Amino acid sequence: MFFNRFAVTGGAIPRYAAAALLIACCSGVSAQSLPSSATGAGAASDDSTATEQQSDSPSDAGADKSDSGATGSEDEAAQADKPAEQPAPKPKPKPKPKPGNWKVPNVASQPSPLNNPAQPLAQQSFSDTVRDAAGKLLQAQSTGDSSLAPLKATSPLREGDSGEQVASLIEHLQAWGYLDKEEQEDGSFNFYDSATTADKGTTFDDEVQAAVKHFQSDHGLVADGVVGPQVATALNTTPAHQAEALKIWATAIDQQVRGARAHGARYIALINVPSYTLHLIRTSDGKQVLESRVVVGTKDHPTPLFWTRITGLKYSPDWVAPASIAKNGYQRTPPGPSNPLGLLRFTTNNNQAIFLHDTNNKSLFGSAWRARSHGCIRVQQWAGLAETIGPLSPAQLQSKLDKRLTMFSSVNESTLVRTVASVVDVVEGKPTVWPDPYQLGNHAIGAKSLQGIAESDPSGLFATAPGKPLQAGDSKQAVQGAP
């Protein structure tokens, strides 16, 4: 029975091959020395492979051990000669940014917001304040004169000038009640005093200058005694028309505050381009909590009239000039006193790189014509704005600025920014008319009312403006912008 079947590596071989293998094993002959025909390798190559890999012969096992020992010694010798592998060097940590060496001003010395102790928060909504100003205009003794030819200040008028334009200026100041008329013996009226010189009514003297300054001060304008487009625009209207325009502006303010509240905003920064003024209004009650002068874009680089949202604050910002400004490729201004963004930038989520920020050129806030930027909005009271919407205490803001490092902090997106164009406004508590730097004509809020044309709902005017409004799907990526 033994010769009937003999298993080698699990495979069946012929009876004569099994006998040969048995004889070989008994005589000490290695199975590898037998011809392949005796083992059946020619019929089963897979079995041959398995036999070579796994030997049952004691001599083969000893040989394997001997070979293994020799190989191990050689490997150890090779390992001894081979230098030990050094661990990969750890990446060097990035150097910590070094603070700048510029002097940081005390934020308490910056222009104070309107809700400081000296000027307490108004007890009514800002729109009601505008309506009250309209009512006072209607009650004023000065009635204006719509029959007068418009004052055309093609070039600034100042003390020492004379001619027809000065005569027209004097007539408008009289119509507004800022210069008095004197009745002469023949029943005619002298311009404003008992002048003895023949050209008194065409000369811009010190009395005319005083009247101009008085008018400017009453209308929230820079009281420099120079008659430019702003003064001419205000003088060319009548109090009645101005009052109607203010009522339209009050309606527009209510609409914007309601819209911001519906979007979950706690504040709305309402920026009126013609008056160069930011009104920060609390949406819960419509009260103005801060007012600031601003610098806006020029006519060639206008600030778009749109909605956007403040998403964060960037302290000690650097500035990379966009292609529209950079003449020689990439231009970066590091943080510091010479940076156009000043000490702080308000990051917004619009797709036009329009931001609010401080500035290194604060002298422009004293200018009557403040359409001077490349589109971004420079804010005079940036510190008060940051403290209010941050919210931050003055000490917290000062601490971050004192580090003199470029840092970011997010805000809860509770402040919406709305840029509009209204040719009337109440600034520093005083109503006035403002020329439109973008020349929108009747598309500006209040423009028709100033001409005696009835207006009712100003909501249709908000979308008419240079620039593209923020829309759903626009990129929210914050990129560097033009100051």
Average pLDDT over residues 105-111: 73
Cα of first residue to Cα of last residue in the chain, in angstroms, is 104
Residue 287: the pLDDT is 95
Average pLDDT over residues 305-319: 93
Confidence of residue 113 (pLDDT cuts 50, 70, 90): low
Residue 53: the pLDDT is 37
Nearest-CA neighbor of 150 among 454, 379, 451, 471?
451
Residue 38: the pLDDT is 41
What is the number of helices (H) and of strands (E) in the chain?
Answer: 12, 17
pTM for the full predicted model: 0.70
Question: Given a cut of 80, is residue 109 above it in pLDDT?
Answer: no
Residue 55: the pLDDT is 37
Rounded to the nearest 5 percent, the helix, strand and coil shares of the chain are 35, 15, 50
Mean pLDDT of the chain: 76
Q: At residue 281, what is the residue type?
A: I
Question: Given a cut of 90, is residue 159 above it in pLDDT?
Answer: yes
Q: How many CB atoms lie within 10 A of CB 46?
A: 11
CB 445 within 8 Å of CB 252:
yes
Q: At residue 344, what is the residue type?
A: L
CB 423 within 8 Å of CB 245:
yes
Residue 103: the pLDDT is 82
The torsion angles phi and psi of 140, rounded to 5 degrees, stand at -65, 150
Confidence of residue 42 (pLDDT cuts 50, 70, 90): very low
When mean pLDDT is compared across 75-79, 390-394, 402-406, the lowest value belongs to 75-79
Between 201 and 192, name the one with better pLDDT: 201
Average pLDDT over residues 419-441: 91
Residue tagged 């027809």 (tokens)? 164
Residue 8: the pLDDT is 43
Buried-state track 267-292, b at ≥16 Cβ within 10 A, e below 16 = bbbbbbbbbbbbbbbbbeebbbbbbb
Question: Given a cut of 60, is residue 128 above it in pLDDT?
Answer: yes
Between 350 and 79, name the one with better pLDDT: 350
Average pLDDT over residues 4-30: 47
